[in-house]
Amino acid sequence: MDMRVPWMAMGDSNVATSQEGEVGGNLYDRTQANWVLNFLDTCGLMDMPIQGASFTWSNQRVIDDAILERIDKIFHNIEWSSMLCNAVGVCDPAIESDHRPLICYLKDTNYKPNKEFKFEAKWLIEEDCKEVVKEVWS
């Protein structure tokens, strides 16, 4: 592959590449991390910083059994980042998944992360609830 061509890849790498990218679970695997880091170096790829969350995957368990990892990533080469220097990596809230979705905005959009919406049934007893919902959805 011609490494001078701008390219980017994103998704689940299944490996935390630093001790800071993993909380809970098994001990950090430096051998796996080094294998991935060497591969990235050989391919001339960089790890794009991601806004919105420190961790991209969770085993969705509570405190003592919780495992958090930064394993979903955006990799790019220098040609890609030179061409798209305002690109921003964003990690949105996870909805019905153990992974947070990654989004790569190709130009800075002054991103503000979405807050996860939680519906409260008690809102239905409020007199103006129906009107508020109609107004917001229209």
CATH class of segment(s) 8-137: alpha beta
Residues 6 or more apart whose Cβ sits within 8 Å of residue 5:
79
Is a pLDDT exceeding 70 seen at residue 126? yes
pTM of the model: 0.66
- Alpha-carbon span 131 to 138, nearest angstrom: 11
Residue 110 makes CB contacts below 8 A (sequence gap 6+) with none
Task: Pick the closest to residue 118 from 90, 95, 91, 92 (CA basis).
Answer: 95
36-95 pLDDT, tens digit each: 889 889 988 988 888 888 888 888 888 778 888 888 899 999 888 888 888 888 888 888
**CA 58 – CA 84 distance, rounded (Å):** 30
Please write the tens of the pLDDT for every residue from 96-123. 888 888 888 887 555 555 566 666 777 7
Q: What is the token pair recorded at 59?
A: 């085993």
N residues, the chain: 138
Count Cα atoms within 13 angstroms, Cβ side, for 15. 14
